[in-house]
């Protein structure tokens, strides 16, 4: 009669389980010990090195960075933010946070051309023929020919004088990495450069146009744009102007608010400039495919009869260098460009 199977395998299984439990408990104990050590070290710093606190008497700085480096970084950051706030306000940012949804909805629908409601393709042409759109476009097209010469004479009177320098508007999207530093690297020897930073997420076309008009009147009442830089994200054949507002050759023919934005922008371009007014595009290479040429041609058509030329040269080309030097201190721009995507931006160099 054979003996029953031996029990060692079950005993071995129990031993393996107990070993895993022991290792897990030791690991948890090790983690807990490290947490306790970190807390103790933080309490030690708060008690023995009060100068290392971050402006509060109760909360210690718990970081592995040297305290002097952290202080320099925080001080530079605070200084940069303060200087920027003094220099420029972001257009379209939500300054009234307590605004209700109903108020925002009412404000949005108060202007038909900025209505964010999607428009169905089959109903769009009907809406274009409605009397509301005709009324809104009437001021743009109906009386345009009658007022052209009168407006040209008014602009010529406003720009009269040997000291007049035609304004250059610089429109900067907050979507561009490190956009907040761009106003600090413009040419300091050219007072005609007017930087406008707008909030990509919340600004509307109306906000942008109103800010441009206000800046032009501050510069010299009655003057118009001779040169303009649009610094935004985008790519071959498209411009990412605002959140959910991408300008392509097809959309600038169909989307109502996009059409009226470019038409209203054309009214701010100069009539007395003997050469075509120029709109430069930076931050992306729109002409990377044939759709870019189509986009620029459609925008020119929208802005007729104002003479406007669109340019988007590669920055490394001779034309690109000339474009950069029109608006920027070239050395500071190259420095900003090399550190645009770096988390360790050298604030002192930029300032």
Give 289-347 pLDDT, tens digit per residue: 999 999 999 999 999 889 999 999 999 899 999 999 999 999 999 999 988 877 765 55
Q: pLDDT over 70 for what percent of the chain?
A: 59
| pLDDT (0 to 100) of residue 113 | 39
Phi, psi of 230 (to 5 degrees): -105, 110
Q: Where are the alpha helices (DSSP H) in the chain?
A: 8-48, 67-87, 101-109, 121-128, 131-137, 144-158, 205-219, 251-254, 256-266, 290-303, 318-327, 330-338, 347-350
The answer to whether residue 128 scores a pLDDT higher than 90 is: no
Strand partners, 308: 277
**Mean pLDDT, the chain, integer:** 75
Give Cβ neighbours of residue 236 (< 8 Å, ≥ 6 apart). 285, 286, 287, 288, 289, 291, 292
**DSSP string across 102-155:** HHHHHHHHTSGGG--S---HHHHHHHHTSHHHHHHHIIIIITHHHHHHHHHHHH
Kindly report which listed range (22-31, 144-153, 225-234, 274-283) carries the lowest average pLDDT score. Answer: 22-31
pLDDT at 72 (0 to 100): 44
Q: Which long-range contacts (CB under 8 A, 24 or more apart) does 107-112 make?
A: 108/204, 111/206, 112/136, 112/256
Query: How large is the C-alpha radius of gyration of the chain?
Result: 30
Please tell me the distance from the alpha carbon of residue 307 to that of residue 10, in angstroms, as a whole number: 91
Of the candidate ranges 63-67, 209-213, 257-261, the one whose mean pLDDT is the lowest: 63-67
pLDDT value for 118: 42
pLDDT band per the 50, 70, 90 thresholds, residue 250: very high
Q: In residues, how long is the chain?
A: 351
CA separation for the pair 330, 187 (Å, rounded): 8
Task: Encode pLDDT of 8-59 as tens digits.
Answer: 555 555 676 677 777 767 766 665 666 676 666 666 655 655 544 444 444 4
pLDDT of residue 16: 65
Residue 197 pairs with which residues in a beta bridge?
Answer: 172
Q: What percent of the chain has pLDDT over 90?
A: 47
The most confident of the ranges 16-30, 85-99, 198-212 is 198-212
Query: pLDDT at position 5, please?
Result: 55
Global pTM reads 0.62
313-338 burial string, b = 16+ CB within 10 Å, else e? beeeeeebeebbebbbbeebbebbee
The answer, yes or no, to whether residue 222 has pLDDT greater than 70, is yes
User: Which of 218, 222, 314, 300 shows the shortest CA–CA distance to 265?
Assistant: 300
* pLDDT for 56: 43
SS3 297: helix
Is it the case that residue 103 has pLDDT exceeding 50? yes
Q: How far apart are CA 247 and CA 263, in angstroms?
A: 14
Task: Tell me which residue has tokens 């979507």.
Answer: 175
Region 265-293: what's the mean pLDDT? 93
Top mean pLDDT of 44-58, 66-80, 144-158, 181-195 is at 181-195
Q: What pairs with residue 235 in β-bridges?
A: 238
pLDDT bucket at 144, cuts 50 / 70 / 90: low
Q: What is the pLDDT of residue 55?
A: 44
**CB contact at 8 A, 95 and 225:** no
The pLDDT confidence band at residue 68, using thresholds 50, 70 and 90, is very low
Q: Which of 245, 239, 172, 252 is nearest to 212 (CA)?
A: 172
- In our burial notation (b when 16+ CB lie closer than 10 A, e otherwise), range 132-168 reads ebeebbeeeeeeeeeeeeeeeeebeebbeeeeeebbb
What pLDDT is stored for residue 125 in this prediction? 45
Mean pLDDT confidence for 185-212: 94
């Amino acid at each position: 009669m054979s003996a029953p199977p031996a029990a060692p395998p079950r005993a071995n299984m129990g031993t393996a389980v107990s070993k895993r439990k022991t290792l897990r408990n030791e690991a948890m104990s090790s983690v807990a010990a490290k947490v306790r050590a970190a807390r103790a070290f933080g309490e030690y710093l708060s008690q023995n090195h009060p100068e290392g606190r971050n402006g509060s008497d109760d909360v210690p700085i718990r970081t592995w960075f040297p305290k002097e480096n952290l202080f320099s970084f925080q001080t530079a950051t605070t200084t940069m933010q303060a200087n920027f706030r003094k220099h420029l306000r972001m257009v379209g940012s939500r300054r009234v946070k307590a605004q209700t949804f109903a108020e925002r909805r009412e404000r949005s629908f108060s202007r038909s051309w900025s209505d964010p409601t999607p428009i169905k393709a089959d109903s769009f042409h009907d809406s274009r023929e409605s009397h509301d759109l005709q009324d809104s476009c009437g001021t743009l097209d109906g009386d345009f020919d009658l007022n052209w010469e009168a407006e040209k004479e008014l602009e010529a009177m406003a720009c009269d004088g040997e000291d007049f320098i035609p304004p250059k508007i610089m429109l900067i999207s907050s979507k561009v990495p490190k956009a907040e530093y761009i106003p600090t690297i413009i040419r300091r020897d050219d007072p005609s450069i007017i930087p406008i930073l707008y909030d990509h997420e919340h600004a509307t076309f109306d906000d942008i146009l109103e800010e441009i008009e206000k800046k032009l009147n501050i510069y010299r009442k009655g003057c118009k744009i001779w040169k303009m830089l649009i610094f935004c994200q985008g790519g071959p054949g498209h411009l990412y102007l605002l959140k959910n507002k991408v300008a392509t050759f097809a959309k600038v023919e169909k989307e109502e608010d996009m059409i009226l934005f470019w038409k209203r922008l054309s009214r701010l371009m100069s009539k007395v400039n003997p050469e075509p007014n120029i709109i430069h595009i930076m931050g992306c290479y729109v002409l990377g495919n044939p759709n870019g040429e189509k986009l620029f041609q459609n925008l020119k058509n929208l802005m007729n009869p104002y003479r406007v030329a669109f340019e988007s040269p590669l920055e490394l080309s001779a034309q690109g260098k000339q474009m950069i030097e029109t608006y920027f201190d070239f050395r500071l721009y190259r420095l900003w460009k090399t550190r645009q995507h770096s988390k360790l931006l050298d604030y002192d160099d930029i300032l």
